[in-house]
Structure 1
Amino acid sequence: MPLRYRETGKVHIGSYTTERGEVIPAVEVAYERVGNPHNPVVLVCHALTGNQVAVGTEDQPGWWAECIGTGKYVDTNEFQVLTFNVLGSCYGSTGPTSTSPSGKPYGATFPEVTIRDMVHVQRKALDKLNISSIHAVIGGSLGGMQVLEWLVLYPSLINRAVVLASTAALSPYAIAFNHVGEQAILLDPNFQDGNYPSNEGLSGLSIARMVGMITYRSKTLFQQRYGEVRSGIQSYLDYQGEIFLQRFDANAYLRLLRAMNQHDIGRDRGGVEKVLREIQTPVTLIGYEGDLLYSIEEMEEMANVLPNSTFVKVSTDFGHDGFLVEADKWGPAIQRELVNGVEETV
C-alpha cells in the first residue's frame, strides 16, 4: 500500500460493560489510520471536543496536521498513525447521539463513562484491527489522560508515551471550571433534562464553551489580541459559543466533562504516587506556560515521580491550547521520543 495510505471507518466491538456496570449492547469506534500499515503504530488520543481526524486530507487538514504527516514530527513514512474517537463522543463512536436498542438516540440515557472505559474500548478496537503492539501512545489534555491510563492498564502493549498538557489527576481548580460549564447546560430550560430535540437554542451549552475557551488560552494572549479593543473578546467568545452548537452535542459534552472530572490514575489503586512509581515505560511530559488547567508545576511533580521520564517546558502565550499550535516548539520532543524508541528496538 502507498505511504500516504489513509483509511477511515468504524470498528464494531460488540457489547461493552462500563466501570459502573452498565451494558452498552453494541459499541462502534470511529477511527482514522494514516501511513504504511506495515509500520509501527503510533496511537494518538484526542482532547475533550476533538475527534478521530488528526491528520485529515490536504483539502481538509485534521487537528494535528501540523505535527503528523510525511516528513513531519510524527512521520507517516516511518509510522502508521491511528486515532480513535472516544466512547461517549459524537463524531462516530457510540455516544448519546447513537441509536439505542429502542431505535431512538440514547440522549440523556447514555451511560456515564470514564477515561478507563475509553481506553478499554480502544483496546478492543485494536484487536479488531489486528494490532497487537503500540510503538507509542500520544495525547494532550483529555488525550493525555487516556495516555496515562494506557500506561497503567496495558503497559505490555506500549513502548513509549508522550503526555502533553495533562496530569495524573484533574485538579480541583479545573473541576471548578467544568462544574460551571455543566451547570450552565443543566439549568438551561431548553436542555429539558437532556431530552432537547436539537442543539439549536441551547444557550447553556454555548456558555459552557465560552467558559472553556477562557481556560484554554492565557491572560497574556487575551491582552495581546484584545487589550486595545476590549469588546473584541466578547465577540470572540460569542462566536465560539455559537459555532460550538453546530458541531457538538450537549449530552456528549456532559459525559466527557464528567469523565474528565473523575480522572485520577490513583483511584482504587493506592494513590497517584504509588501508580506513577510503578510505570516503567519511558514517558515524555510536555507542559505549557500559562496553562490554567494543567500547570507546569503539576506536570513537573509528575515527572519527578515517574521512574523513566523526560520533562519539556514550552514557552508560549497560548496557554493550554499550546499543544494544538506552534508545533515547532514541541514537535521535536515528540520526534526524539519516537526515534529513540525505534533505535532501542533495532
Structure 2
Amino acid sequence: MPRGEVTQQAAIGNLTLESGEVLPDVTLAYETWGEYDGSNAVLILHALTGDTRVTGEGGWWSQVVGPGLGIDTDRFFVVAANILGGCRGSTGPTTPAPDGARWGTRFPSVTVRDQVAAEVAFSDALGVDTWYGVIGGSAGGMRALEWAIEHPERVERLFLLATCAAASADQIALSATQNDIIRAAGPVAGLDLARRIAHISYRSETEFAERFGRLVQDDGRFAVESYLQHHGDKLVKRFDADSYIVLSDAMNSHDVGRGRGGVHAALGRIQAETVVAGIDSDRLYPLYQQLELADGIPGCEALDIVKSPYGHDGFLIEADQVGDLARRLLA
C-alpha cells in the first residue's frame, strides 16, 4: 500500500457517465498519509477549487489532518483524491483527449454521481473495500453523501460539513451566473470575476462589515474591493476556467433524491454513523440544509453547529471545532 505526501496517479480505465458517454482512460491524482492496516482508511473529499494538498504548509486542512490532530495520520490511512473534471492531476479539461489535444471545452458534462463512480473505481484500484470514514465539506460533502447512499456497505462513518441533499435554486443561480461570466469574459477575466462573486458568498456580511466597513485604501480602492480582486487573481494563477465550469455544473446536478424516490428515501439508505455540521453564519449553504440531512440520516443523532464569523469558509477556518467533531466521529 503506497504511503507518502507525494502526489500519485491511479489509472481507473474507461468510465461510463450518467449521460451514457464513455470517458476513456480516466486517471485520478491522489495523496496518502499513514499506514493502511486493512480497516483504517479515511477518505477526504475536497471542495470546488480544492486539491490533494490537505496537510503541511499550504494544505487546506493542515490543522485538522496530521499526527495527533482530529483526523490522526498516526492512526488512520488518510487518502485525498483530486476530483474528476478538476485540473490538479486528474482527468479533466486540462488533460489530453483521445486526439492528443487538451479536452478544454469539449470535456463532457459530469455529475456528482459520475465523480463518485470514479472515486469508487479508484478505491478498488487502491485496494480499499470499506472506508472507516468518508469526510467532505461543501462540494466534497455532496460526494461523501453520494458515497454513503449509493454504497452504504462501504462507508462506516460519515462526516458532512456545510453541504446539502440537493443544490438549491439560490446556489444554482450563483453558480450558473459565474459560469456565464467566464464564457462571456474569457478564461482569465471571467474566472477572476467569477471567483470574486463566489468569495462574497463564501464569507459573511458580518465579517465584511467588521473587517472592512467602508475603509478606503491609499490607492483609492475600497478595502473589500481590493480583497476580492486579490482572491480572483489568486485563483486565476492556480486553477483552470474550463474545470471551474465543469465542476460548478456538476455541483448544480446534485440531488440525492433524483431517481431514488425523493430526498427522504435516499437519506434513509445510509447505514453509516454520521456527523452533520453546519456553519451558523453560512449564507451559501444555510443551516436548514444541514438540518434536513441530520433529520433524515438514521445514523445521525443531531445537527452540530460550528460557530464562526467567516460564513461558508468556516468549515476550512474553524480547525479546532471541526477537528473536535472529526475526532468524536472517528473515535
TM-score range, shorter chain: over 0.9
Q: Structure 1 residues 301-310 or 117-126, which shifts more?
A: 301-310
Q: Count residues in correspondence.
A: 324
Counterpart CA distance in 2 for 1:91 and 1:62 is 14
Q: 2:303 aligns with which of 305, 311, 335?
A: 311
- Structure 2 residue aligned with 1:22: 21
CA contact (8 A) 2:156 2:272 kept: yes
Counterpart CA distance in 1 for 2:238 and 2:5 is 23
Q: Residue 187 of structure 1 aligns to a residue in which SS?
A: helix
Tell me the CA shift for residue 333 of structure 1.
1.2
- Structure 1 residue aligned with 2:270: 279
- Structure 1 residue aligned with 2:195: 209
| Letter of the structure 1 residue corresponding to residue 190 of structure 2 | G
Q: 1:251 aligns with which of 242, 246, 268?
A: 242
Q: 1:173 aligns with which of 170, 174, 192?
A: 170
Q: Structure 1 residues 20-29 or 305-314, which shifts more?
A: 305-314
C-alpha deviations, 1:191-227, integer Å up to 9, x for none? 3xxxxxxx5xx21111110000000000011111101
Counterpart CA distance in 1 for 2:5 and 2:52 is 12
CA contact (8 A) 1:5 1:36 kept: no
Counterpart CA distance in 1 for 2:230 and 2:306 is 28
- Structure 2 residue aligned with 1:33: 32
- Structure 2 residue aligned with 1:46: 46
| Letter of the structure 1 residue corresponding to residue 93 of structure 2 | P
Q: 1:89 aligns with which of 64, 86, 89?
A: 86
C-alpha deviations, 1:80-115, integer Å up to 9, x for none? 110100000000000000011111100011010111
Counterpart CA distance in 2 for 1:8 and 1:62 is 13
Q: 2:215 aligns with which of 222, 225, 229?
A: 229
| Letter of the structure 2 residue corresponding to residue 338 of structure 1 | L
Counterpart CA distance in 2 for 1:179 and 1:8 is 31
- Structure 1 residue aligned with 2:253: 262
- In the alignment, is residue 74 of structure 1 matched against residue 77 of structure 2? no
Tell me the CA shift for residue 300 of structure 1.
1.2
Q: RMSD in angstroms over aligned alpha carbons?
A: 1.5
Tell me the CA shift for residue 5 of structure 1.
4.2
Q: Residue 334 of structure 1 aligns to a residue in which SS?
A: helix
Tell me the CA shift for residue 277 of structure 1.
2.2
Counterpart CA distance in 2 for 1:279 and 1:131 is 19
Q: Structure 1 residues 224-233 or 264-273, which shifts more?
A: 224-233
1:104-183 equivalent positions in 2, closer than 5 A: 104-183=101-180
- Structure 2 residue aligned with 1:337: 329
Extract unaligned runs of 5+ from structure 1.
192-198, 340-346
Counterpart CA distance in 1 for 2:299 and 2:125 is 31
Tell me the CA shift for residue 24 of structure 1.
1.3
Counterpart CA distance in 1 for 2:142 and 2:4 is 29
Q: Output the TM-score relative to the length of structure 2.
A: 0.94
4+ long deviations beyond 4 Å: none
Counterpart CA distance in 2 for 1:26 and 1:277 is 34
Q: Residue 6 of structure 1 aligns to a residue in which SS?
A: coil
Tell me the CA shift for residue 330 of structure 1.
2.4
Q: Residue 71 of structure 1 aligns to a residue in which SS?
A: coil
Q: Residue 284 of structure 1 aligns to a residue in which SS?
A: strand
| Letter of the structure 2 residue corresponding to residue 66 of structure 1 | Q
- Structure 1 residue aligned with 2:313: 321
Q: Output the TM-score relative to the length of structure 1.
A: 0.90
CA contact (8 A) 1:144 1:165 kept: yes
| Letter of the structure 2 residue corresponding to residue 96 of structure 1 | P
Counterpart CA distance in 2 for 1:66 and 1:146 is 22
Extract unaligned runs of 5+ from structure 2.
217-221
| Letter of the structure 1 residue corresponding to residue 47 of structure 2 | A
Counterpart CA distance in 1 for 2:32 and 2:273 is 24
Q: Residue 28 of structure 1 aligns to a residue in which SS?
A: strand
Q: For residues 243 and 7 of structure 1, do their structure 2 counterparts lie closer, same or farther at Cα, with a shift above 3 Å needed?
A: closer
Tell me the CA shift for residue 228 of structure 1.
4.6
| Letter of the structure 1 residue corresponding to residue 176 of structure 2 | H
Q: For residues 180 and 221 of structure 1, do their structure 2 counterparts lie closer, same or farther at Cα, with a shift above 3 Å needed?
A: same
Tell me the CA shift for residue 171 of structure 1.
1.0
1:191-210 equivalent positions in 2, closer than 5 A: 191=186, 199=187, 202-210=188-196
